[in-house]
Amino acid sequence: MTRYALFGCLAAGGCAADLISKTLVFQWRGMPREDNVYWLWEGYVGIETALNNGALFGLGQGGSQYFAALSVVAAIGICVWLFRFGAAHDRFLTIALGCVMGGVLGNLYDRLGLWSPPAGAAQEHYTGVRDWILWRYGKWTWPNFNIADCLLVCGAFCLVCQALMVKDVGDGDSNESSKV
């Protein structure tokens, strides 16, 4: 039961952190516009609002409904893997899936257009994911991202690490030295 609580806390807490941060930043900085950068570390790390109607790195622009459907499928798949197929028995896997679920839910909320634009903005129905973290190095600028994206990347990294971990699944009789 504690693994389910761990998963739930990570997913709900991650989603809440993402949605609260997006709401606060968009209220503070407004909708995306030119010269809307607030530098935390001049030229390197800043806050700039952006809307992404696509997926990773802005690929698939205009496909919000398609990506929303994929998010729902991913959320269902995570729950089935965790609760039906026993992934919750592994703490590391539970943490990874909790992070991924938090990211999926945070961005799904935006893709479904459940958020309201800040006061003073056109009261349209927006279905883009709200991004606000800006990272630059010299002339190279990383596409804006948010806390949900960080959760997705960290969770996916943990899943890859889990998949690459060497596990001894021998039956005890396959010891090469005993065959000599």
Tell me the two tokens of residue 55.
């997926």
What CA–CA distance (Å, rounded) separates 73 from 71? 5
For residue 156, give the 3-state DSSP assignment: helix
Instruction: Out of 35, 90, 110, 149, pick the active-site residue.
Output: 149
Catalytic status, residue 131: yes
φ/ψ (deg, to 5) at 133: -90, 125
Q: What is the CA radius of gyration of the chain?
A: 20
Catalytic status, residue 18: no
DSSP code for 173: S
What CA–CA distance (Å, rounded) separates 49 from 136? 15
Whether the Cβ atoms of residue 155 and residue 147 lie closer than 8 Å to each other: no
Count of residues for the chain?
180
What CA–CA distance (Å, rounded) separates 89 from 7? 11
Instruction: Out of 131, 168, 171, 173, pick the active-site residue.
Output: 131
List residues with catalytic annotation: 131, 149
